């Protein structure tokens, strides 16, 4: 085990980019000490997950050097189960966490599953677990390696309240080094002692000591101070320029005075600092509801939940019409996502959607998106009237740049995929919205904007979310509690 306070990872003037037009970091220098617990912050698409890949060695820097302490072991709990992993059994999934074959792995699997509070038969396929259960499996796959440095990429996504509480306690008690990417401010504040901020504009990393909330407050205060100082300097510079021009026109000795003033202006301009630009927030938007539908939009008369890994049927009577918002609640693994999938497929017994209704389905794994499509193709595909200016105007609201328009969906970060999914809902104009954990991977600054749009949506809506603060901002007409 690495000693506490020893520098275990050091970045020295590291630069990396995906092709000429996609720089991620530029001449970045920072270090990680043993036993530290750091939050890695930054806007969607800034390159936080790429930074993890540079630390693990999965990616190599274009310039600069990354120094890793000798013998340091590193494990990453990624954001999502890959499509290839989905068809592995639990045992195969954990075996794949190691480079070499591990004999008698079952007791080790049992031990880490207990840590993440998950009951999982070892021959069960990964794809049959809920999103929250898969989040626990991803964490367990990193913990089973017993690494010196644990990298967690959005570990609270899909976790219910009990799961987040358990993970928080685990990290508070954790003795080794940990770096966490998360958009959950309350979660981060519970255990972090350092914040690394990856600035999407400058491509540098700023390192701050202190708890998450204190660091955010310090950054805001610093930005305010810098803005005030810059404004004061700008005013003085302008006044001196006017005086210099006045004296220059006088000729004779006054020209020397003008030259000295211009030298002073140069010094003052150098004193101006580049203030950290605030993360851009998506612009307010509305999801237009399908206009021509009348009466019932969808109906649920029965549904199934999972209890002790077996389906149990329940009767209900829920009719969804325009402006009707239904919240579906329940712990991880009870069957919320399965219920939404069954309804959206139109094949489920006891659930039906009227034939003419357009369905906007936001899936937590983004499997409604074709990862081979470009962003442009994905957005154009849902439009009934193909208008270029409408498409590009909508994309801009969600910070989708002209550069990223030609990128394949599969190359986007998870947060960027989420913003594309929301842009598609706006262009689709659905009669029924089905939303499965729509805040996963999304920058916390965007969440109030999304909540307002959902609150104002005038079609029928079914929502699953484990984020109480988000749900509290949305009008809910009925709750179906699967527990």
Is 434's pLDDT higher than 60? yes
Stretch 279-307: mean pLDDT: 88
Is 408's pLDDT higher than 90? yes
pLDDT of residue 276: 56
Most confident range, picked from 147-161, 310-324, 417-431:
417-431
Report the distance separating Cα 150 and Cα 74, nearest Å.
Answer: 6
Is 227's pLDDT higher than 90? no
Instruction: Write down the residue that tokens 């609201």 correspond to.
Output: 397
Strands 63-68 and 74-77: unpaired
Stretch 455-466: mean pLDDT: 94
Is 206's pLDDT higher than 90? no
Most confident range, picked from 80-84, 151-155, 475-479:
475-479
pLDDT confidence tier of residue 325, bands split at 50, 70 and 90 = very high
Q: Euclidean distance between the first and final Cα of the chain, in Å?
A: 42
Handedness of CA 49, 24, 196, 183 (dihedral sign): negative
- At 412-431, the pLDDT tens digits run 888 899 999 999 999 999 99
pLDDT of residue 273: 61
pLDDT of residue 346: 78
Q: What are phi and psi of 262, to 5 degrees?
A: -70, -35
Q: Percent of the chain scored above 70 by pLDDT?
A: 97
Domain 7-216 has CATH 3.40.50.11810: no
Is 285's pLDDT higher than 90? yes
pLDDT confidence tier of residue 199, bands split at 50, 70 and 90 = confident
Report domain extents, the chain: 7-216, 298-481
Report the 10 Å Cβ neighbour count for 252: 8
350: its two tokens: 């006891």
Q: Percent of the chain scored above 90 by pLDDT?
A: 41
Tell me whether residue 319 is exposed, middle or buried, using C-beta atoms within 10 angstroms of its C-beta: 0 to 12, 13 to 18, 19 or more. middle
For the ranges 157-171, 388-402, 404-418, 453-467, the lowest mean pLDDT is seen at 157-171
- At 231-260, the pLDDT tens digits run 888 888 888 888 888 877 777 778 788 788
Is 136's pLDDT higher than 70? yes
Is 24's pLDDT higher than 90? no
Report the distance separating Cα 416 and Cα 280, nearest Å.
Answer: 13
Is 272's pLDDT higher than 70? no
Tell me whether residue 242 is exposed, middle or buried, using C-beta atoms within 10 angstroms of its C-beta: 0 to 12, 13 to 18, 19 or more. exposed
Residue 177 CA: distances (Å) to CA of 151, 171, 285, 419 = 9, 10, 41, 32
Contact 365, 341 (CB under 8 A): no
pLDDT confidence tier of residue 13, bands split at 50, 70 and 90 = very high
Report the distance separating Cα 337 and Cα 465, nearest Å.
Answer: 11
In this prediction the pTM is 0.70
Is 2's pLDDT higher than 80? no
More confidently predicted of 83 and 149: 149
Is 120's pLDDT higher than 90? no
- The alpha carbon torsion through 329, 335, 341, 344 (nearest 10 deg) reads -50
Is 345's pLDDT higher than 60? yes
472: its two tokens: 């509290």
pLDDT of residue 278: 58
Q: Report the chain's mean pLDDT, rounded to a whole number.
A: 87
Stretch 199-218: mean pLDDT: 82
Residues 6+ apart with CB under 8 A from 77: 138, 139, 141, 142, 143, 150, 151, 152, 153, 155
More confidently predicted of 347 and 339: 339
pLDDT of residue 4: 59
pLDDT confidence tier of residue 135, bands split at 50, 70 and 90 = confident
135: its two tokens: 């989040």
CATH number, domain 298-481, options 3.50.50.60, 3.30.420.40, 2.40.110.10, 3.40.50.300: 3.40.50.300
């Amino acid at each position: 085990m690495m000693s506490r306070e020893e520098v275990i990872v050091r970045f020295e003037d590291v630069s990396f980019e995906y092709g000429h037009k996609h720089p991620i970091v530029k001449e970045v220098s920072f270090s990680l000490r043993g036993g530290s617990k750091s939050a890695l912050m930054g806007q969607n698409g800034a390159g936080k997950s790429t930074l993890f890949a540079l630390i693990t060695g999965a990616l190599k820097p274009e310039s600069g050097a990354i120094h890793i302490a000798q013998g340091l072991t590193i494990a990453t709990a990624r954001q999502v189960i890959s499509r290839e992993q989905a068809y592995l059994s639990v045992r195969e999934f954990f075996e794949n966490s190691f480079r070499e074959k591990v004999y008698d792995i079952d007791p080790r699997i049992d031990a880490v599953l207990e840590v993440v509070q998950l009951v999982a038969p070892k021959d069960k396929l990964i794809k049959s677990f809920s999103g929250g259960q898969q989040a626990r499996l991803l964490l367990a796959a990193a913990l089973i390696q017993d690494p010196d440095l644990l990298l967690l990429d959005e570990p609270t996504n899909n976790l219910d309240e009990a799961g987040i509480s358990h993970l928080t306690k685990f990290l508070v008690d954790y003795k080794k080094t940990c770096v966490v990417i998360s958009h959950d401010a309350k979660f981060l504040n519970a255990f972090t002692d350092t914040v690394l901020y990856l600035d999407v504009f400058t491509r540098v990393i700023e390192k701050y000591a202190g708890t998450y909330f204190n660091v955010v407050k310090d950054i805001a205060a610093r930005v305010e101070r810098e803005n005030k100082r810059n404004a004061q300097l700008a005013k003085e510079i302008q006044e001196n320029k006017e005086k210099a021009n006045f004296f220059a026109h006088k000729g004779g000795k006054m020209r020397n005075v003008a030259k000295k003033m211009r030298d002073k202006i140069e010094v003052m301009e150098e004193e101006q600092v580049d203030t950290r630009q605030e993360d851009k927030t998506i612009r307010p938007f509305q999801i237009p509801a399908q206009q021509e539908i009348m009466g019932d939009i969808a109906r649920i008369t029965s549904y199934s939940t999972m209890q002790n890994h077996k389906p149990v049927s329940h009767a209900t009577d829920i009719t969804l019409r325009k402006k009707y918002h239904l919240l579906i609640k329940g712990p991880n693994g009870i069957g919320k996502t399965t219920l939404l999938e069954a309804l959206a497929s139109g094949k489920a017994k006891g659930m039906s959607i009227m034939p003419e209704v357009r369905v906007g389905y936001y899936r937590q794994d983004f499997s409604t998106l074709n990862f081979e499509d470009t962003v442009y193709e994905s957005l154009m595909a849902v439009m009934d009237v193909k208008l270029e200016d409408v498409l590009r105007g909508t994309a801009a609201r969600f910070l989708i740049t002209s550069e990223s328009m030609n990128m394949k969906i599969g190359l986007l970060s998870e947060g960027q995929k989420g913003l594309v999914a929301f842009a598609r809902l706006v262009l689709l104009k659905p009669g029924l919205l089905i939303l499965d954990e729509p805040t996963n991977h999304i920058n916390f600054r965007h969440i109030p904007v999304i909540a307002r749009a959902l609150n104002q949506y005038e079609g029928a809506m079914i929502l699953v979310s484990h984020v109480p603060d988000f749900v509290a901002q949305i009008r809910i007409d009925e709750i179906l509690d699967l527990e």
